[in-house]
Amino acid sequence: MGNVRFSLVSRGVETLGDWNPQLMREIQGRLKLRSVFLTVLFSLVSQGLFLFWRYRTLDIRLGRCETAEYQKTGKDCVQTGTHYILVNWPEWWLQVFAWGSIFLMFGLVVGGTFMLINDLSREDRQGTLTFISLSPQTAQTILLGKMLGVPFLIYLAVLLALPLHYAAGLAAQIPAVKIFSFDLLLLASCLFYYSLALLLGLVGNWLNGFQSWLGSAGILMLLLLLKNNSLTKSSADWLFAFSPSVMLPYVARSFDVNRYVVALPFDHRNIVAWQWFTVPIGSSGFLVLLFALANFGLWAWWLWQPLPRRFRNPTVSLLGKKQSYWATACFILCSLGFSMATPSSAAGNLDLKMAVVIMAHFLWFLLMIVLLLPQHQALEDWARFRGHYRSAKGRMQRVNDLLWADNSPTWVAIAINLAIADIPIMAWMLSFPEQEHVAGVMGLLFNSTLILIFTLFNQVMLLRSISHRNLWVTATLVGPMILPTLLLIIFGVGPGQGGASLILLTPLSIAVIKDISVISALQMFVLHLGMIAGLTWQLNHQLKRFGESSTQRLLQRNVQTEQG
């Protein structure tokens, strides 16, 4: 059996169970002698190997301290007098601390998300999650238990590495409070990424277990992407707030002029110019910490909105319509703030800022379409039992449903979300020179109508009786986005060429809008509106059909037969 039978531990686990039964179950499932032994061994051996690796790179050991070149580059040796060369141990420990912190970050964030997605999707596939959801425990209790319990062995390994982490930091003359601030941000990032992992685990079971690899690899790529990137003074800078490594330069004294210039891993030295609504948050480590904590907190809170909904009822849309309006407002507030960094007069910079805002806007709305998407059955039931509103009061109810009810079609809600997002973006664009702001506003308008077309197309397609629904959701969103772009590339249509106005049918309209005549743009806009009108008619027609009772259908068929 091999179970660890420490009575003290068991008693502790029981007490824990009274607070959170799921946490108890997860710990009990993992507290096996073999797993614990292997984890402890892995953690200690990894730390040993890590220290050995750092020791091997010591300049003095490699005999590089005495060379003339060394004096220029200034590594971790200090020359005292004419003959004595000493190792600059604080500098060496700083390297150990920085590398160790990065490993901790990847281990905790990437490893933890993989385990959580994997565990939840497995439980979902096996059907055990249903039994837990039938218990009187709240979804929050269960999911929190999962979050704290599933990566239990990772926590154990990290706990064993903490003494080295703190010892290295203190030996590098970093105040304990600074080390703690980095750890606090790391914990906040875990809260965010683990919440994301829970959501991916709950919604992604159609990927047959692949979602754990996909999710954790995506997060790994994001963290790695931020390794060397410099600030763009656009909404893209917001991404830095999603990496705990942003705090590292402040902790590791990267800006200390007296420090030897040694490259540290994930040394976001340029983060010092980080701004949000022109507030220089990068000017102090404390502001960065506060902003990143608030950012992780806010978006973790948003991730916890769909989690209990989906846990309780797997057929409900991930986000309520009312929630989506607030979420869009938060998104615009966060992302636009980074584009409002100290204005630059350079046109190129403005173009980049606008392009980033419009692309972020587009990606956000693709996400919104997925989050708001009601199940086929919910739409059918809505059309069948509540879709017929003939009286004035009924029509009011229909409008109310389209605005607020979770099981109604989503295009009205998407349109309102577009208004919430577009008004502040347009206001921001109007502060640019005229030529720039006209192009920006036009690009945004084309983008918004395109999103409406995608929403309607997606809904029309998904109202058909189809199997593999999730694949269709992906196909109906990715297909219209990629196919036209691909076709234009194949036929060699690019900005400044004939037929460039066709690019307005893709999300890349901002790239060509300046080169297109007003007439062509107007024609394409009318085409967009025509597509919206056509798809709305088709959607309403489909909903009306679903709204018919069986008797109505039967009678209709009989009439058709008689006529035929």
Chain residues that interact with another protein, rule: CB under 8 A: 1, 3, 14, 17-18, 21-22, 24-25, 28-29, 126-128, 130-139, 309, 312-313, 315-316, 376-377, 380-381, 384-385, 465, 550
Instruction: Find the shortest distance in angstroms from Cβ 126 to another protein.
Output: 5
Compute the distance between CA of residue 75 and CA of residue 139 in angstroms, rounded to an integer. 53
Report the candidate in 326, 324, 328, 309 with the shortest Cα–Cα distance to residue 378: 309
> Computed over its alpha carbons, how large is the radius of gyration of the chain?
28
In 84-241, alpha helices (H): 89-106, 112-126, 128-133, 139-149, 152-171, 176-203, 210-225
In 247-314, alpha helices (H): 248-251, 285-303, 306-312
Q: Considering beta carbons, is residue 94 or 132 the nearer one to another protein?
A: 132
Instruction: Find the shortest distance in angstroms from Cβ 10 to another protein.
Output: 10
Q: Considering beta carbons, is residue 91 or 380 the nearer one to another protein?
A: 380
Instruction: Find the shortest distance in angstroms from Cβ 469 to another protein.
Output: 12
Instruction: Find the shortest distance in angstroms from Cβ 470 to another protein.
Output: 17
Q: Considering beta carbons, is residue 127 or 498 the nearer one to another protein?
A: 127
β-bridge mates for residue 32, sequence order: 3
Question: Dihedral sign, CA of 544, 546, 547, 553?
Answer: positive
Please answer whether residues 185 and 109 qualify as being in contact, where contact means their C-beta atoms are separated by less than 8 angstroms.
no
The CA-CA-CA angle for residues 296, 301, 305, to 5°, reads 145
Q: Considering beta carbons, is residue 59 or 123 the nearer one to another protein?
A: 123
**Cα separations in angstroms, 315 against 274, 312, 413:** 42, 9, 19
**Cα separations in angstroms, 281 against 185, 218, 241, 284, 380:** 15, 27, 11, 6, 49
Instruction: Find the shortest distance in angstroms from Cβ 127 to another protein.
Output: 5
Instruction: Find the shortest distance in angstroms from Cβ 490 to another protein.
Output: 39
Q: Considering beta carbons, is residue 3 or 79 the nearer one to another protein?
A: 3
Compute the distance between CA of residue 278 and CA of residue 177 in angstroms, rounded to an integer. 28
Instruction: Find the shortest distance in angstroms from Cβ 169 to another protein.
Output: 37
Compute the distance between CA of residue 234 and CA of residue 438 in angstroms, rounded to an integer. 19
Instruction: Find the shortest distance in angstroms from Cβ 16 to another protein.
Output: 9
Instruction: Find the shortest distance in angstroms from Cβ 463 to another protein.
Output: 11
Q: Considering beta carbons, is residue 283 or 315 the nearer one to another protein?
A: 315
Q: Considering beta carbons, is residue 230 or 556 the nearer one to another protein?
A: 556
Compute the distance between CA of residue 185 and CA of residue 256 in angstroms, rounded to an integer. 22
Compute the distance between CA of residue 22 and CA of residue 16 in angstroms, rounded to an integer. 9
Compute the distance between CA of residue 89 and CA of residue 76 in angstroms, rounded to an integer. 7
- Burial group, residue 545, by CB count within 10 angstroms (0-12, 13-18, 19+): middle
Q: Which residue has the tokens 């607030």?
A: 326
Instruction: Find the shortest distance in angstroms from Cβ 512 to another protein.
Output: 44
Q: Considering beta carbons, is residue 139 or 425 the nearer one to another protein?
A: 139
- Cα 412 to the chain's mean position, in Å? 25
Q: Considering beta carbons, is residue 14 or 66 the nearer one to another protein?
A: 14
Q: Considering beta carbons, is residue 258 or 550 the nearer one to another protein?
A: 550
